[in-house]
Amino acid sequence: MTALAPTPASRRRVRRGRAVPWLMLGPAIVLFAVFMAAPIAYTLVLSFQRSVVTGLGLGSGSRSTVFAGLDNYVAALGDPDFLASAGRVGLYGLVLVPTMLGLALLFALLLDSRRTRLRAFSRITIFLPYAVPAVISSLLWGFLYLPAVSPFYDVADALGIRLPEVLSGDIVILAVANIALWGGVGFNMIIMYTSLRSIPSDIYEAATLDGASETQIALRIKIPIILPSLIMTAIFSMIATLQVFAEPTTLKPLSNSISSVFTPLMKVYRDAFTRNDVYSASATSIVIAVVTFLLSFVFLRVVQRRAFGGEG
Amino acid sequence: MAIAIDRGPVSGRRDRASVVSTAILLLGALYCLLPLAWVLVASTKDGGELFTTNTFVPSGSLWDNIVELGSYRGGLFWRWMLNTALYAGVGAALSTVVSGLAGFALARYEFRGKGAVFTVLLAGVLVPGVILAIPQYFLLAQIGLTNTYWSVLLPQIISPYGIYLARIYTAASVPVDVIEAARTDGAGDFRIFWRIAVPMMSPGLVTIFLFQFVGIWNNFMLPYIMLGSDTLYPITVGLSGLLNQGSTVPALYSLVITGALLSIVPLVVLFLVLQRFWRVDLSAGAVKA
């Protein structure tokens, strides 16, 4: 632009050119500031405060906030409820993420194989649960877990097998993981399948001529090429794991084993709205956000390197 | 694994492989269909049959259940459905416009601070949305906006991931030459965006719309926190509350099940009709639609 002859018209264009991108970014920046930056800043401020009762503790002016330093963080990190919920979600993630991504990769590779039949049907059907909100899928699975209405228990009874009640005891975490698996495997499969489809097929031809089997091509060629997609889906899945809230909250009325502090976010919700301790809830939120951020930092690096290396 | 000689069309081997891989995929499909098939059958049963009859034998009460659900508290269920459509439809449309404009600006203009703006916006992808919901509630409470349509609609318009996708779609589908040519012809920047860039990047914009639509439709925590009066609820919060009551009033179970079925239908239809737009390559960012 600066190379153009400095006619009045082009100078006007250059000047306008400076304001225009900001006008286009305007709505996004304003909304980002109001609904993302401000809430984060507000949470940070709250997390360093606490409420104290002054005077006789009567009336609306009797409470004031004071600087609390790191007290809320110390309390949050030392809270056995929080540690138990974090451990529970950690275990949940360790079960869920590898199972979900392993199955998604398996399905994606099978969809990409010319030997597989009924591929369109399988692809659409496995992706379909993504259309079902987590609350609704928790509802459906919740009923399938109830011995009184579930077909699994009918079938098991007929075969003389006693199935454990998945909504009671510690295995309820597996019941929750299964709901997330059901909702997430198809979405991850589609992401991986799309990367597989973008590999030029002539890459395989040489390998096929050399006598490589389809399994070898999958392991030695396909998986390494789509590795960035796998890393991204892994990080997205880990972020989602840390935020698990809707599934256990929906299942709670059906199960005695799900407490109001079952996951870290459920504890944040309880502290903020049931106990009215927004300061402690804020500190716990920040802890969760920092852990999430550390996990996703890798993701940002991968994205920037992969996606914008060659953009003009 | 033995390295078999697999150069010619050895048909026996080929067929065996296809049977195994097809069977694995069909098992996966069965797993995914099972709860949907169950809700389809279960919603045909009345409250008593639900607990007494064989699970996969349908009954004839579907219409009765729908009527009963429709009359629950003066048609509250349909209100929830309309609310959800409003939140998801309007929210996703606004989000697509905001993301499209921002992505276009980031991809096709050079200006000071561009790198910083993009980095900050992209960092928003990493901020878990549910962690924002509670401070958003307290901030909106200070200006009296909680428990309104706005409280659910506004926070979900900003989508860092949508902006990220829009930037990639613009870079991939709107050539610089075309913009330069239009500019030479005297077209203004916003006119170029609406008339030239939007049609060229429309498959990408549809994908952004779908992502946001599904995201808002599925969102539970934000409306759960923001809303107090059940006439404003989206379907997720409404049905969750109904299930909560159902644990003491089992007769409500058949309403919950029928409601779950009816709430899935629009999204499933949307998916089947628009499924070609879901081929998103996250790492390369290209749309293969």
Taking 60 as the threshold, does the pLDDT of residue A312 lie above it? Answer: no
Tell me the pLDDT tens digit for each residue of B52-78: 766 677 777 777 778 877 777 778 888
All domains of chain A, ordered by start, with CATH? 1-47 (no CATH), 49-78 (no CATH), 79-307 (1.10.3720.10)
CA distances, A283 to each of A141, A267, A277, A303, B52 (Å): 33, 12, 10, 29, 49
β-pair partners for A62: none
d(C-alpha B118, C-alpha A36), whole Å: 15
Its pTM stands at 0.82
Amino acid identity, position A104: A
CA distances, A282 to each of A277, B73, B221 (Å): 9, 37, 16
Cβ–Cβ gap A141/B35 under 8 Å: yes
Cβ–Cβ gap A24/B163 under 8 Å: no
Torsion of CA A109, A113, A116, A119, to 10 degrees: 70
Say if A51 is an interface residue toward chain B (CB within 8 Å). no
Under a CB-based contact definition with an 8 Å cutoff, are residues B125 and A304 in contact?
A: no
Confidence of residue B13 (pLDDT cuts 50, 70, 90): very low
Instruction: Please tell me the predicted confidence (pLDDT) of residue B10.
Output: 43
What's the whole-number average pLDDT of chain B? 81
Cβ–Cβ gap B267/A131 under 8 Å: yes
Q: Chain B contacts of A233, Cβ < 8 Å?
A: 282
Tell me the pLDDT tens digit for each residue of A231-275: 778 888 888 888 888 889 888 888 888 888 888 888 888 888 888
Q: Chain B contacts of A40, Cβ < 8 Å?
A: 127, 132, 135
The closest CB to that of A24, out of B31, B101, B110, belongs to B101
CA distances, B22 to each of A109, A121, A197, B54 (Å): 11, 11, 18, 30
Between chain A and chain B, the number of residue pairs with CB atoms below 8 A apart is 324
Cβ–Cβ gap A194/B288 under 8 Å: yes
Instruction: Please tell me the predicted confidence (pLDDT) of residue B55.
Output: 67
Instruction: Please tell me the predicted confidence (pLDDT) of residue B283.
Output: 41
Q: With respect to CATH, is domain B68-278 assigned 3.30.565.10? A: no
d(C-alpha B257, C-alpha B41), whole Å: 10
> Tokens 């960012």 correspond to what residue?
B285
Task: For an interface test with B, give the residue of A29, A36, A275 to mutate (most B CBs within 10 A).
Answer: A36
Instruction: Please tell me the predicted confidence (pLDDT) of residue B6.
Output: 44
Q: Chain A contacts of B226, Cβ < 8 Å?
A: none
Cβ–Cβ gap A107/B271 under 8 Å: no
ipTM confidence: 0.82
Instruction: Please tell me the predicted confidence (pLDDT) of residue A190.
Output: 87
Q: How far is CA A110 from the centre of its chain?
A: 25
Q: Residue B71 corresponds to which tokens in the numbers above?
A: 């009359």
Confidence of residue B31 (pLDDT cuts 50, 70, 90): very high
Say if A22 is an interface residue toward chain B (CB within 8 Å). yes
Residue of B nearest to A196 (CA): B281
Q: Chain B contacts of A214, Cβ < 8 Å?
A: 17
Residue of B nearest to A17 (CA): B109
DSSP string across A91-139: HHHHHHHHHHHHHHHHHHHHHH-TT-SSHHHHHHHHHGGGGS-HHHHHH
Q: Residue B100 corresponds to which tokens in the numbers above?
A: 């499209």
Q: Residue B285 corresponds to which tokens in the numbers above?
A: 């960012």
Q: Which residues, at least 6 apart from B235, have a Cβ–Cβ distance to it below 8 Å?
A: A133, A136, B80, B81, B83, B84, B259, B263
Q: Which of A206-220, A282-296, B228-242 has the lowest mean pLDDT?
A: A206-220
Taking 60 as the threshold, does the pLDDT of residue B12 lie above it? Answer: no
CA distances, B189 to each of A20, A208, B113, B289 (Å): 7, 51, 20, 27
Shortest distance between the Cα of A155 and any Cα of chain B, in A, equals: 10
Among A94-103, A149-158, A207-216, B256-265, top mean pLDDT goes to A94-103
Residue of A nearest to B165 (CA): A307
Instruction: Show me where the domains of chain B are located.
Output: 68-278
> Tokens 């980031």 correspond to what residue?
B106
Confidence of residue A69 (pLDDT cuts 50, 70, 90): confident
The whole-number average pLDDT for the span B265-274 is 83
Task: For an interface test with A, give the residue of B130, B147, B151, B156 to mutate (most A CBs within 10 A).
Answer: B130
Q: Pick from B233, B160, B215, B210: which is nearest to A240 by CA?
A: B215
Cβ–Cβ gap B154/A31 under 8 Å: yes
Task: For an interface test with A, give the residue of B5, B15, B32, B280 to mutate (most A CBs within 10 A).
Answer: B32
Confidence of residue A31 (pLDDT cuts 50, 70, 90): very high
Instruction: Please tell me the predicted confidence (pLDDT) of residue A271.
Output: 87
Task: For an interface test with A, give the residue of B3, B16, B21 to mutate (most A CBs within 10 A).
Answer: B21
Cβ–Cβ gap A292/B126 under 8 Å: yes
Q: In the 8-state DSSP scheme, what is residue B156? A: G
Residue A199: burial class (beta carbons within 10 Å; 0-12, 13-18, 19+): middle
What's the whole-number average pLDDT of chain A? 80
Count CA within 13 A, CB hemisphere, residue A42: 19
Taking 70 as the threshold, does the pLDDT of residue B49 lie above it? Answer: yes
Instruction: Find the helix or strand (DSSP H, E) in which B40 lies.
Output: helix B11-42
Q: Which of A146-150, A180-184, A187-191, B192-196 has the lowest mean pLDDT?
A: A146-150
Q: Chain B contacts of A177, Cβ < 8 Å?
A: none
If DSSP codes are grouped into helix, strand and coil, which group holds residue B220? coil
